[in-house]
Amino acid sequence: MSGCWSEIEKLAGSTLCVLAYRNPFDVVEVTDAYAVVRPHVRKISRQVPRREVEAAYTDLLASGQISARQIKERHADWHSAFVCALLAELPGITYSLNPITLYVGAAHRAQLAFEGDTAFIPPAPPIPAEAPPVVPSPSSGRTPQPASGKRLAFAVVAELLRRGFEVYLPALDEGGIDCILRLEGQAGPCWLELRIETRTADASPAKAALFAGLEIPDPRPELAFIFYAALVDTYWVVPSLELVELARQYKRGKNKGKYTINFCHVQAGHPVPDPQYAAYQDAFHRLGCSRTGSPAKGG
């Protein structure tokens, strides 16, 4: 059980603000089951369940960050604004606006993990200020991701774990495989290899979900891609055999043979998921065994 509620109890009697509009509200009372909040505008008290706050807090610790949208969709549909404001007051937690996102520092996560407070996925190691230029890995042919991309890749792994997948991380970067899933198929257990591609929230609207220079030398039933665009907080799950049909392949130039795909278009200056890829949006159900069974070795 996460240990955030003891800190929430300390907020009783405080006046906080909703992060989005800075509308103030009072934390009237904190019981074992809920926090009573009263907005200054309507002055109608509401009860924010403890389970919603703790679930969002645990999710935040697991991935290092969580957006207001994720809190609303996963944990607190009616109270997400208050949950965000309460969590933002806790030690070790910071936030940003546009979109509203909560963050927890690596040191704080490591301390909680050491104390056995919650499941923990370690962040990527920091890159030194004078780090040498990255070079393609001889085993994968891919340029290693920068630290921000690594963090998002770990967040994708956390999402897979949250959805109940059995995830294995390879010790070596063999063939550019980021993780492997052990699945149950009709013919028994099987393995599915995953490539994780991410775009950070600082991408321009036109490039929010643009994935270019993709190398797919061996598309096969046992390989799938998960794309995550932080700016629109959206996943696309695409089997490799379908990806080579959907994506555009460069026919000439330095990127000859590589693929590019853009899952969003710009509307009124903002990136919007393209409806032509709706079948792949958040389609984690596509992560299954191939028709041939692909039995897991030793399974």
Q: Is the pLDDT of residue 287 over 70?
A: yes
Phi/psi for 141 (5° steps) reads: 80, 0
Q: Is the pLDDT of residue 146 over 70?
A: no
| pLDDT interval class at 298 (50, 70, 90) | very low
Q: 38, 16 in Cβ contact below 8 A?
A: no
> Would you state the structure tokens that stand for residue 57, as one six-digit string?
């807090």
Q: Which of 79, 58, 44 is nearest to 68 (CA)?
A: 79
| pLDDT interval class at 107 (50, 70, 90) | low
CA angle 117, 122, 126 (to 5 degrees): 135
Containing 259, the helix (H) or strand (E) segment is strand 259-262
Q: 158, 62 in Cβ contact below 8 A?
A: yes
Q: How many CB atoms lie within 10 A of CB 255?
A: 15
pLDDT score for 297: 43
